Amino acid sequence: MERIFRILIAGIMFIPLMVAGQQLPQFSQYMFNGLHINPGYAGYKTQGYIQSTYRSQWVNFPGAPKTFTVTADLSANEGMQGFGVSFMTDQIGPAKTTGGLFTYAYRMQVGDESFFSLGVSGGFSEYMIDGDLLRFNDPNDPNIPEGRERMVTPNMNAGIFWHNARFYAGFSAFNMIGKGVLQREDLSLGFHDYHYYLTAGALIPVSDRVEFKPSFLVREVKGAPTSYDINGMFLFMERLWLGASYRSNMKIWNENLEPNLGTRNAVAFLVEVFATESIRLGYAYDHNLNVLQDYRHNSHEISLGYYLSPRNVKLKNPRWF
């Protein structure tokens, strides 16, 4: 009998606020590290930068997602080239996804203080399910996997990123290759659909010591409503970021969606501090406004960033994006 675990994984992932077909983990602190959503961002900070992020989603909810990532990037050739690497592990119940990517971005000057970059990432993704952690009504079902089942697929992402001292915009596509590898006749461990990200933002002076950074992010995935974030961050004395994000979704491009995929709303409160000239510490708290609110299963996300050389805040155009 054909063993199809695609439905199983979709069921595990179909917890409110996550939509069917969307398997890439989401982060609330992506505005502090654009490499999470766009390979064209690699090398933007000009200095070598390493960041680790841990996200625990819906705390105390059985099988809730737990995600850990490490990214590193730097620039070369007077900032005209960017190089990066990233590793990720995402655990949802008995299912686990692990991936690694190498990133290259080519940057060109398109104005007095404007730059445009094109980036590409290549690597792999491993999808695994532990059959020993599954619970079935019929334990004698021959389709239940014994032990761990794994499938590995190549992966590629691409993106463009434009910025000057006050504005930025980007567009990217993830999971561009590798979908066919997961579509074996006898086994299907997960989805590997295209993900599209569109983002833009600005840095607006409020006073000599305060600046305001509004931004947005739109995500599009096959089989899921279009989701969007609206963000507002304040930068105090070039040392402390404080702000919030509103997350929701709407049905635009995907017409034949499941009828119970209603609107999901959440807010995130974010803080990041430049603890020293080399260290950045970040925290985000996500609160659900409708689905799961009665269970009080909210999400926590922490990040630690390190500049390989001390950050120079006296640059003509400090990199605040």
**Does residue 196 lie within any of the structural domains?**
yes
Q: What is the pLDDT of residue 100?
A: 97
**Does residue 189 lie within any of the structural domains?**
yes
Q: What is the pLDDT of residue 22?
A: 46
Query: Which residues span the domain enclosing 189?
Result: 6-307
**Does residue 312 lie within any of the structural domains?**
no
CATH of residue 10: 2.40.160.40
Q: What is the pLDDT of residue 57?
A: 86
Q: Split the chain (321 residues) into runs of 10 and give each run's mean pLDDT.
A: 41 40 79 96 94 89 88 94 97 90 97 94 91 70 72 94 96 89 60 90 96 97 88 96 94 65 81 95 90 66 93 58 76
User: What does the alpha-carbon distance between residue 166 and residue 212 come to, in Å, rounded to a whole number?
Assistant: 11
**Does residue 318 lie within any of the structural domains?**
no
User: Biggest alpha carbon distance in the chain?
Assistant: 69
Please tell me what DSSP assigns to residue 146: P
Q: What is the pLDDT of residue 289?
A: 82
Q: What are phi and psi of 114, to 5 degrees?
A: -110, 140
**Residue of 277, 280, 281 whose CA lies nearest to 310:** 277
**Does residue 159 lie within any of the structural domains?**
yes
The neighbour count for residue 8, using CB atoms within 10 Å, is 22
Q: What is the pLDDT of residue 11?
A: 41
Q: What is the pLDDT of residue 131?
A: 74
**Does residue 83 lie within any of the structural domains?**
yes
Number of separate domains in the chain: 1
State the DSSP H helix or E strand holding residue 149, giving kind and residue range, or none if neither.
strand 148-163
Q: What is the pLDDT of residue 148?
A: 79
**Residue of 184, 317, 213 whose CA lies nearest to 272:** 213
**Does residue 313 lie within any of the structural domains?**
no
Single-letter amino acid, residue 5: F
Q: What is the pLDDT of residue 144?
A: 67
User: What does the alpha-carbon distance between residue 97 and residue 12 come to, in Å, rounded to a whole number?
Assistant: 13
Contacts of 174 (CB under 8 A, 6+ apart): 24, 157, 194, 195, 196, 197
Cβ–Cβ under 8 Å, residues 79 and 44:
no
**Does residue 1 lie within any of the structural domains?**
no
Report the predicted TM-score, pTM, of the whole model to 2 decimal places: 0.87
Burial label, 225 (beta-carbon count in 10 A; 0-12, 13-18, 19+): buried
Q: What is the pLDDT of residue 251?
A: 78
Cβ–Cβ under 8 Å, residues 231 and 245:
yes
